[in-house]
């Protein structure tokens, strides 16, 4: 049985616009007018307000500079290796104006993780935050990436004199005569559905992240779907109760390299004629200060942020009810207990959850506009234009309240996994996306995510492939075999835990000296920390076992060890 969105009808979606053309110039029934003097972006630390005119000018200047200095053009990939920055969007839009493609990378990546993304995208240029410059240079040396194709974002600190900056490129670009300026990429009718805009990485069961190929149309469609679902630009109730209003202020704490931060926190908020406070790096107490300082009304968050709101002692020092009127949580489910605590903390606010994935260019469901509070534990109702089906293990379609794998069809679907035909064939099937999530849909059209069918863990909203960590662990001299599982955690959703079979030599050392076990565990944990970004660290610890359980076909019985991990954590919590 196919389930259709019970939400508003899907409005028209332009199929001949690039992302910057849509953001800067598109007139749409869902798009409210921006009030005079309302900035687009606000720099968190300084309070500097940045309006449309300045953003247009910087985008034009940077596009000119990138074309004249580096020849960036059709389908060239520019990798942004940076935390949030007020010029992050400018860099995206400038590259799109030239027909290029953006790939965002986590600025906390180790050198080898960045090497992988550089190689997969075949990037022509890197735009880098100064704090990540050393890692970028290390990855560049490893891949023979030209050092003169690293451009630095400008910050309050002085930049190395030998590295070109975005500001310099913009100034050079603005000085180029009009007859020598770039010609903006224009799309033919329908071309936005195939013209590549982003290569956003999503972890895979093979252990290597996959490049999700996202066209311009997908982002534009998702922004319009969310706006239609939330009655943006409609006079549907008293202004004080409307969920999104022109002039409201949202916090931009979600990383722009992540699909949630890129589509919803950045582009959707700007489409709604709101201001976005750009926060470079998350710090909870500083976030509370920012809410008060900038009078922030909208918080777009992930479960770890919500847990802090409910449990951090500093919260009592702030009158959040005075400012916060909407909280959306995505990337991973919230427990019923945390939901209730949040409802009690902010009894007057719109609060609910959304569900989506990189492969659907973010949201496919969200709590209904008719409910101020989302149903606790629910991922909400399907967005306009979205169709879902629940597929049972025998391949038949489930009915209401029956569990199975959630499949989604949506206008915002990605094109494929770039350079990975096998993975594409497994996930993208005749316009449908296999989510890998076990779910059910009730008669109210509410989606309930029950479990992960795939082996991917969700840590702080980020996808983590067990196989990737297992490959890293096998590089440790004391490890014979390994199995990594996710164990539940109130703060992170899940955290990785490793079950290890020691080599004969390591097992002998442990047998002869019990203290050796702790040293080896610490060494294994440090090995992962040295080679992987922080959310992939073995926060769940390491356990030694005599053998990894496998099925007759040779597959790791990960579910068996996942249950064992839960048992161990439960036992320890009682001690």
- 417 beta partners: 212
Map out the domains of the chain as residue ranges: 2-15+211-452, 51-186, 466-574
Q: Where are the alpha helices (DSSP H) in 122-260?
A: 133-143, 166-174, 216-229, 259-260
- DSSP for 425-455, written as a single string: HHHEETTEEEEEEEEEE-TT-BEEEEEESSS
- In terms of DSSP bridges, do strands 362-366 and 381-382 run parallel, antiparallel, or are they unpaired? antiparallel
| 262: three-class secondary structure by DSSP | helix
- 198 beta partners: 102, 214
| 212: three-class secondary structure by DSSP | strand
Topology agreement, domain 2-15+211-452 and domain 466-574: no
| Residue carrying structure tokens 């040779």 | 554
Structure token pair of residue 395:
């391949």
Residues in CB range of 92: below 8 A, 6 or more apart: 19, 20, 80, 102
Q: Residue 180: is it exposed, middle or buried by C-beta count within 10 angstroms (0-12/13-18/19+)? A: exposed
Distance CA 353, CA 331 (A): 9
| 192: three-class secondary structure by DSSP | helix
DSSP H or E segment with residue 61: helix 52-70
Q: How many CB atoms lie within 10 A of CB 307?
A: 21
The CA-atom distances, in angstroms, between 39 and each of 36, 42, 136, 221, 276 are: 9, 7, 32, 24, 8
Per-residue pLDDT, 514 = 83
Q: What is the pLDDT along the chain (575 residues), one digit of tens a residue?
A: 999 999 989 999 999 999 999 999 999 999 999 999 999 999 999 999 999 999 999 999 999 999 999 999 999 999 999 999 999 999 999 999 999 999 999 999 999 999 999 999 999 999 999 999 999 999 999 999 999 999 999 997 766 768 999 999 999 999 999 999 999 999 999 999 999 999 999 865 445 789 999 999 999 999 999 999 999 999 999 999 999 999 999 999 999 999 999 999 999 999 999 999 999 999 999 999 999 999 999 999 988 888 889 889 999 999 999 999 999 998 777 777 788 889 999 999 999 999 999 999 999 999 999 999 999 889 999 999 999 999 998 999 999 999 999 999 999 999 999 999 999 999 999 999 999 888 999 998 999 988 767 777 889 888 888 878 988 898 899 998 888 999 888 788 889 999 999 998 999 999 999 899 999 999 999 999 999 999 999 999 999 999 888 755 455 778 788 888 888 877 776 65
Read off the pLDDT of residues 437-447 as tens digits, 9 standing for 90 and up.
889 999 989 99
Distance CA 306, CA 296 (A): 16
- 350 beta partners: 326
The CA-atom distances, in angstroms, between 215 and each of 91, 189, 244 are: 17, 14, 26
Q: Kindly report the CA angle at 264 between 259 and 267, in degrees rounded to 5? A: 100
Count Cβ neighbours within 10 Å for each residue of 357-380 and write b for 16 or more, e otherwise.
Answer: bbbbbbbbbbbbbeebebbbebbb
| Residue carrying structure tokens 């038949």 | 396
DSSP H or E segment with residue 520: helix 515-531
Per-residue pLDDT, 337 = 79
What CATH superfamily classification does 2-15+211-452 receive? ANL, N-terminal domain (3.40.50.12780)
**Closest Cα partner for 308 from 320, 297, 294, 298?**
320
Per-residue pLDDT, 553 = 45
Distance CA 297, CA 389 (A): 35
Distance CA 231, CA 222 (A): 14
Residues in CB range of 474: below 8 A, 6 or more apart: 481, 482
Domain 51-186: CATH architecture, name and number where available:
3-Layer(aba) Sandwich (3.40)
Q: What is the CATH number of domain 466-574?
A: 3.30.300.30
Q: Residue 428: is it exposed, middle or buried by C-beta count within 10 angstroms (0-12/13-18/19+)? A: middle
Q: How many CB atoms lie within 10 A of CB 235?
A: 8
Q: Kindly report the CA angle at 67 between 62 and 72, in degrees rounded to 5? A: 105
| 320: three-class secondary structure by DSSP | helix
- 485 beta partners: 497
Contact by Cβ (8 Å): 545, 557 = no
Read off the pLDDT of residues 198-215 as tens digits, 9 standing for 90 and up.
999 986 544 578 999 999
Structure token pair of residue 435:
């989510």
Distance CA 200, CA 260 (A): 11
């Amino acid at each position: 049985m196919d389930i259709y969105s019970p939400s508003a009808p899907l409005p028209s979606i332009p199929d001949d616009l690039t992302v910057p053309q849509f953001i800067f110039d598109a007139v749409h029934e869902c798009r409210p007018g921006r009030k005079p003097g309302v900035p687009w972006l606000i720099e968190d630390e300084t309070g500097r307000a940045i309006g449309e005119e300045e953003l247009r000018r910087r985008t034009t200047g940077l596009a000119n500079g990138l074309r004249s200095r580096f020849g960036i053009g059709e389908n060239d990939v520019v990798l942004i290796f940076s935390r949030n920055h007020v010029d992050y969007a400018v860099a995206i839009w400038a590259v799109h104006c030239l027909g290029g493609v953006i790939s965002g990378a986590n600025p906390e990546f180790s050198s080898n993780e960045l090497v992988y993304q550089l190689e997969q995208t075949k990037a022509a240029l890197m735009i880098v935050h100064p704090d990540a410059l050393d890692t970028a240079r290390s990855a560049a040396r490893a891949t023979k990436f030209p050092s003169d194709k690293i451009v630095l974002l400008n910050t309050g600190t002085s930049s190395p004199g030998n590295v070109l900056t975005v500001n310099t490129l913009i100034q050079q670009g603005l000085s180029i005569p009009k007859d020598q300026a770039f010609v903006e990429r224009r799309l033919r009718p329908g071309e936005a559905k195939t013209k590549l805009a982003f290569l956003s990485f999503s972890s895979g069961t093979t252990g290597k992240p996959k490049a999700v190929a996202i066209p311009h149309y997908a982002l534009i469609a998702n922004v319009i779907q969310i706006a239609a679902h939330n009655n943006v630009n409609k006079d549907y109730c008293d202004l004080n109760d409307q969920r999104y209003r022109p002039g409201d202020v949202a916090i931009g704490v979600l990383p722009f390299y992540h699909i949630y931060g890129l589509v919803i926190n950045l582009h959707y908020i700007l489409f709604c004629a709101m201001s976005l406070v750009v926060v470079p790096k998350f710090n909870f107490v500083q976030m509370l200060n920012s809410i008060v300082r900038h009078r922030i009304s909208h918080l777009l968050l992930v479960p770890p942020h919500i847990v802090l709101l409910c449990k951090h002692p500093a919260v009592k020092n702030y009158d959040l009810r005075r400012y916060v009127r909407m909280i959306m949580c995505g990337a991973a489910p919230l427990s019923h207990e945390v939901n209730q605590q949040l409802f009690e903390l902010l009894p007057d606010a719109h609060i609910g959850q959304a569900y989506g994935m990189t492969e659907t260019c973010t949201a496919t469901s969200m709590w209904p506009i008719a409910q101020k509070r989302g149903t606790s534990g629910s991922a909400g109702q399907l967005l306009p234009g979205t169709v879902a089906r629940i597929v049972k293990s025998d391949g038949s379609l489930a009915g209401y309240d029956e569990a199975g794998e959630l499949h989604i069809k949506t206008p915002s679907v990605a094109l494929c996994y770039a350079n990975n035909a096998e993975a594409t064939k497994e996930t993208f099937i005749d316009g449908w996306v296999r989510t890998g999530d076990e779910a059910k849909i009730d008669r109210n059209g509410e989606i309930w995510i029950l479990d992960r069918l795939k082996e991917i863990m969700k840590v702080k909203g980020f996808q983590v492939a067990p196989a990737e960590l297992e490959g890293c662990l096998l590089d440790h001299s004391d490890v014979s075999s390994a199995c990594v599982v996710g164990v539940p955690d109130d703060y992170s959703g899940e955290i990785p835990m490793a079950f290890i079979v020691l080599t004969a030599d390591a097992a002998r050392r442990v047998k002869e000296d019990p203290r050796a076990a702790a040293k080896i565990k610490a060494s294994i944990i440090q090995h992962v920390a040295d080679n992987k970004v922080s959310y992939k660290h073995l926060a769940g610890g390491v356990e030694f076992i005599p053998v990894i359980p496998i099925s007759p076909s040779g597959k790791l019985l990960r579910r068996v060890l996942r249950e064992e991990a839960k048992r161990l954590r439960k036992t320890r919590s009682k001690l």
